[in-house]
Amino acid sequence: MTLTHTPTTDEQPTTDGGRPTDESGTSGRDDSERPPERPTVLVPLEVLEGDSLPAGVPDLLANAHVVLLGYHVLPDQTATEQAREQFGDKAMSKLNGFADTLTETGATVETRLVFTHDEQTTIDRLIYEYDSLAVLVPNSVESLESVLVAVRGTVGIGRNTRLVAGLFAGTDIGVTLYHILGEGEPEDDAETLLNGVRSELVERGMEPGAIDVLVETPSEQTPIDAIAELGETHDAVVMGETDPSVTTFVFGMPSEQVAERFLGPVLVVQRERTDADEESEE
């Protein structure tokens, strides 16, 4: 499948068979017509399980450029080729259906279908390929009004704000910037940090009134528990990868643990991938 970060009509995946996904999603060939740059969000779905997209996800990603990854995990004893032969058609048509749903709410969509023995390898590879800003843990949510944005520190703030502003500027969705104080970290510094993030969001087109700021002192809880618990009063969570030097994996990480407890959609902001990273993983 031909890949590009800005999908254009003549580069439609050959598999789509004329599906009008990209035409309706892209308001023209001229990229400058799209006010904030569309953040690229990777949405991994176990395509053969479940009959529809998780509720709320199309609204959440209405302003995104979605890389919709349909995957199917097979045990080692099965050749992936074998599964593709048997399930490929069905999976592809389901995936295209999901893509249409996303397109109808405004997203631009590229689809990829992968049969794999290891979903993590696949997700990680596609994060690199598309330089994805974030990966969605696709849980469902009923309505989307407020989003909790966990801010850990200054690292990766640029990507974080690009994602949040890109997704939510010009919508009715409000965001709450949330920081848990580190040991010995003065509250003033934290507020400066969050206010900096806020003004950057405003610069990128968000309404100042749509942004709340919340600093908490650490309690008995781990930050993971705190985020998951506070998340319950919101509809979705945006958080960063943790300790990228240790692992680049999305799942099985704090973000995954939050997603398990919070049960709503979680956007995991990815650090920037470099070629050196990729080689070190070989």
Partner 1 sequence: MDDTEPSDGSGPSPAGPEPDPSPGGVEVSDALGDIVDADTGEGELERTIGLVGGLAIGIGTMIGAGIFVFPGLAAENAGPAAALSFAIGAVVALLVALPTSELATAMPRSGGGYFFISRGLGTGPGAIVGLGLWLGLVFAAAFYLVGLGSYAGQVFLEAGIALPVNPAVPLGVAFGIGLTVLSLFGTENTASLQNGIVIVLLVILTLFLSYGSLDALGVFGSESVPERFFPPGGALPVLQTAALVFTSYLGFAQVATVAGDIKEPSRNLPLAMVGSVIVVGVFYVVTIFVATSAFGSARLGEFGETAMVEVAREFAGFPGALAIVIAGLLATFSSANASILSASRAVYAVSRDGLIPEAASRLNLKYGTPHVALGLAGGPIVVLSATGQVELLAEVASFLHLVMYGLICVALIQLRRERPDWYTPTFRCPAGFAVAGVGGLASFALIAFMQPASIAIGFVVMALSYAWYRYYATGVDLKGEF
The first and second tokens of residue 137, run together, are: 């843990």
Instruction: Rule CB under 8 A: choose which of 23, 37, 129, 216 binds partner 1.
Output: 129
Residues 139-168 that bind partner 1 (CB under 8 A): none
User: Smaller CB distance to partner 1: residue 116 or 242?
Assistant: 116
Q: From 118-126, 229-237, 245-253, 257-265, give the range in contact with partner 1 by CB under 8 A.
A: 118-126
Rounded Cα gap, residues 104 and 90, in angstroms:
21
Asked if 214 is part of the footprint of partner 1 (rule: CB under 8 A), the reply reads no
74 binds partner 1, rule: CB under 8 A: yes
N-to-C CA span, the chain: 23
Binding mask 4-33 for partner 1 (x = CB under 8 A): x-----xx-xxx------------------
Q: Which one among 52, 86, 154, 199 touches partner 1, defined by CB under 8 A?
A: 86
Give the integer Cα–Cα distance in Å for 166 and 170. Answer: 9
Does position 114 interact with partner 1 (CB under 8 A)? The reply is yes
Measured CA to CA, the distance from residue 50 to residue 66 in angstroms comes to 19
- Segment interacting with partner 1 (CB under 8 A) among 37-45, 100-108, 110-118, 132-140: 110-118
The count of other CB atoms within 10 Å of the CB of residue 11 is 14
Q: Which of 45, 62, 66, 73 binds partner 1 (CB under 8 A)?
A: 73
Backbone angles phi, psi at 90, to 5 degrees: -65, -45
Q: Establish if 274 lies at the interface with partner 1 (CB under 8 A).
A: no
| Residue 125 in contact with partner 1, rule: CB under 8 A | yes
121 binds partner 1 (CB under 8 A): yes
Residue carrying the six token digits 């309690």? 219
Residue with tokens 């994602």: 163
CB of 122 to partner 1, least distance (A): 5
- Tell me the number of residues near partner 1 by CB under 8 A: 43
Q: Please, what is the minimum distance in Å from the beta carbon of residue 11 to partner 1? A: 7
Residue pair 65/102 in contact (Cβ under 8 Å)? The answer is no
**Does the protein bind partner 1 through residue 44 (CB under 8 A)?**
no
H helices of the chain, in order, are 21-25, 57-60, 80-104, 119-130, 157-168, 187-203, 223-231, 254-262, 275-281
Burial of 206 (0-12, 13-18, 19+ CB in 10 A): buried
The residues that touch partner 1, with contacts defined as CB under 8 A, are: 1-4, 10-11, 13-15, 48, 70, 72-89, 91-92, 112-118, 121-122, 125, 129, 282
